[in-house]
């Protein structure tokens, strides 16, 4: 669930920056840089993928999420170059949906 929220924050930050191309972008001040958030997401996704309690279904779902993530990660890290907000939005929504499914599988496995 936490990973889903992080992905939402990254996508929102990216969209905000994309909308401000050609003008100055003024973030909230205390918010963390998008590349820092991207790094955190990548690390946490790696940790999730390596978790010992993963079932084959969870591993497959995380593999799909990771493929989508790797596809948009470079664009997120280079948010000042060739922005692709539609692509980021589409893939981040799919990643969030996948993460929610994984969270549900983890929760079901704990009962």
User: What's the token pair of residue 101?
Assistant: 């499914």
Q: Hunting for tokens 């992080």 — which residue is that?
A: 6
Average pLDDT over residues 60-82: 92
Residue 94, pLDDT score: 96
pLDDT single digits (tens) 89-107 = 999 999 999 999 999 999 9
Residue 105, pLDDT score: 92
Which of these, 73, 90, 78, lies nearest to 38 by C-alpha position?
Answer: 73
pLDDT above 70 (res 66):
yes
Quick one: pLDDT band at residue 18, thresholds 50, 70, 90?
confident
pLDDT above 60 (res 37):
yes
pLDDT above 50 (res 79):
yes
Average pLDDT, the chain: 86
pTM of the model: 0.83
Angle between helices 56-77 and 34-50 (to 10 degrees): 160
Residue spans of the domains in the chain: they are: 1-18+33-43+70-111
pLDDT above 70 (res 23):
no
Q: Is there a contact between 65 and 45 (Cβ–Cβ < 8 Å)? A: yes
């Amino acid at each position: 669930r936490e990973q889903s929220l992080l992905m939402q924050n990254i996508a929102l930050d990216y969209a905000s920056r994309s909308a401000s191309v050609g003008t100055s972008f003024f973030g909230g001040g205390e918010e963390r840089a998008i590349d820092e958030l991207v790094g955190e997401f990548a690390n946490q996704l790696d940790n999730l993928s390596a978790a010992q309690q993963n079932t084959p279904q969870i591993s497959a779902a995380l593999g799909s999420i990771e493929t989508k993530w790797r596809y948009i990660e470079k664009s997120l890290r280079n948010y000042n170059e060739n922005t692709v907000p539609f692509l980021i939005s589409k893939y981040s929504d799919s990643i969030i949906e996948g993460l929610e499914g994984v969270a549900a599988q983890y929760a079901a496995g704990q009962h």
